[in-house]
Structure 1
Amino acid sequence: MKEIDPGPTAFRELTRAAERLLAAVAGLSDADIAAPSRLPGWTRAHVLSHLAAQAPGLERLLTWARTGVRTPQYASREARDAEIEAGARLRAAELVARVRQSAAHWQRTAETLPGPAWDAVVVPFTGEVCTPRRILVIRLRELVLHLVDLDVGHEVADIPPATRDIVLADVLGYYARAEGVPSFTVHGAGGEELARFGDGGPTVSGTAADLLAWLSGRGTGDTLDAPGGLPALPPWI
């Protein structure tokens, strides 16, 4: 599981990712957020509502780490889904304001988390056992990929390299643990091996951005070099 250490570099990447997303949605109208996002069945309002609710959810995991008291990210899947649906019915200005306020509050909570808490064990909604160092990756991943999902002019190729590499490593780590992943090897554009699944099998090569787009389900992979054809992957998250 990909983790990053807390500190100025990590917090700066998180701040910039939030700023890019907020700048991209600042001028959206009610009609704009009612339009479909790139996520099947979700409008842009659903994506924004998810982001607004996800920050407090991850913040609850930081509270768990700080206090030692089990504090689930969400009470249940049903409660999570209901919160997203309710938020998706808000007007654009109110929904964007919620995203902005929750992002700022989450950032303050993360930056003031006591040192020992960063090594505490928590369990996100996905069921993985991790520390808050992993929560930083999850937050960063959600900000940059959901900005792409909003379909407001940002692509995976626009993700800054440092952040892109963190998220790519995270997605590759997911497939290393997932069931039903066929044998294949991932190479970067320079020929370097990035990951090997099963016995290696055929090779898929490309730029980090193109690989991330394909692996995360945000690209077809048609720009990748895959002599044996692209393997069929189980869904990512």
Structure 2
Amino acid sequence: MAKTTERTMTAEAVRAEVGAGQERLRALLPALTDDGVREPSELPGWSRAHVLSHIEGVALALARQARYGLRGELIEPYDGGRPARAAAIEAGALRDAAALGDAVRAALAEASAAWAVVGPADWSRPVRHRNGDLRSALLAWWRELEIHAADARIGYGPQDWPRELCRHLLDYLAPRVPADLHLVLTDTDGTPVRRYGCVDAPRVTVCGPVTDLAAWLAGRRPHHPLDCRRPGAPAPLPELLDWP
């Protein structure tokens, strides 16, 4: 079982972080070019256009969870499930830079409007997304927004992630650590040490800035090399399990 230092943010604080992240992404969109959106993203097999199309889709899907959740109705995030989601990403990736930018801006506007009307008493309302509630759906949108904005390689990377997001990722992604490992993450920027796995298992210590630790745990490239050590010697980074 993972042992982490849990930091609980209010849903309103998460919503403010999401709003700031949406504004950062909006500010990057005018620089898109037709050639640039065809270039590779950080995700294998996906161009920047694929990632931007995915951001558009997930923004709308989770905004829909908010709209229906407030009405007391449960609905799937995507009509047609994952096959329809994948088809929409492929079709959306064919658009030029102007059309992509307009679509992402429209999706961000819908997300802002949908989440703005969620009140303090509404966050525990159930949603279909992962059988969670409105708060968990908002957290999912925060992760999707920030991680995929970095994946798009349009001027924003994991090294730019807010510290609060990084701390959230270090907790949320704890299930990626194998149970037969005692993993200790030490942040050189001062975040409390995170411990995962079994304390009786072989100990592995990974040290670096919190943004790089979060990037690695999220399956992304750290901006700086991480220092990984097993007792007495440097070691390669351990293999992680799938996303929760």
Q: TM-score, normalised by structure 1?
A: 0.86
**2:126 partner SS:** coil
**1:204 partner SS:** strand
2:238 to 227, 231, 234: 231
Unmatched segments (≥5 aa) in structure 2: 1-5
Is the alpha carbon distance of 1:25 and 1:191 closer, same or farther for their aligned partners in structure 2, counting shifts above 3 Å? closer
1:87 alignment partner in structure 2: 92
Percentage identity across paired residues of the two chains: 31
Is the alpha carbon distance of 1:139 and 1:42 closer, same or farther for their aligned partners in structure 2, counting shifts above 3 Å? same
2:21 to 14, 17, 36: 17
Aligned length: 229
Is the alpha carbon distance of 1:3 and 1:131 closer, same or farther for their aligned partners in structure 2, counting shifts above 3 Å? farther
Unmatched segments (≥5 aa) in structure 1: none
**2:123 partner SS:** helix
1:2 is displaced (CA, Å) by: 8.4
2:169 alignment partner in structure 1: 167
Structure 2 counterparts to residues 18-97 of structure 1, below 5 A: 18-75=22-79, 76-97=81-102
Higher relative contact order, structure no. (Cα contacts within 8 Å, ≥ 6 residues apart): 2
The one-letter code matched in structure 2 to 1:223 is P
- Mapped partners of 1:103, 1:114: distance in 2: 19
2:107 alignment partner in structure 1: 102
Is the alpha carbon distance of 1:185 and 1:69 closer, same or farther for their aligned partners in structure 2, counting shifts above 3 Å? same
2:210 alignment partner in structure 1: 208
- Mapped partners of 1:167, 1:92: distance in 2: 31
- Mapped partners of 2:149, 2:205: distance in 1: 29
**2:195 partner SS:** strand
Contact 1:137 1:166 in 2 (8 A): no
- Mapped partners of 1:2, 1:131: distance in 2: 19
2:195 alignment partner in structure 1: 195
1:113 is displaced (CA, Å) by: 1.9
The one-letter code matched in structure 2 to 1:166 is H
**1:185 partner SS:** strand
Contact 1:120 1:131 in 2 (8 A): yes
- Mapped partners of 2:153, 2:191: distance in 1: 31
- Mapped partners of 1:45, 1:58: distance in 2: 20
Larger mean Cα displacement after TM superposition, 188-197 or 96-105:
188-197
CA RMSD, Structure 1 to Structure 2 (Å): 2.4
Q: TM-score, normalised by structure 2?
A: 0.83
Moved over 6 A (4+): none
1:23 is displaced (CA, Å) by: 1.4
- Mapped partners of 1:213, 1:91: distance in 2: 29
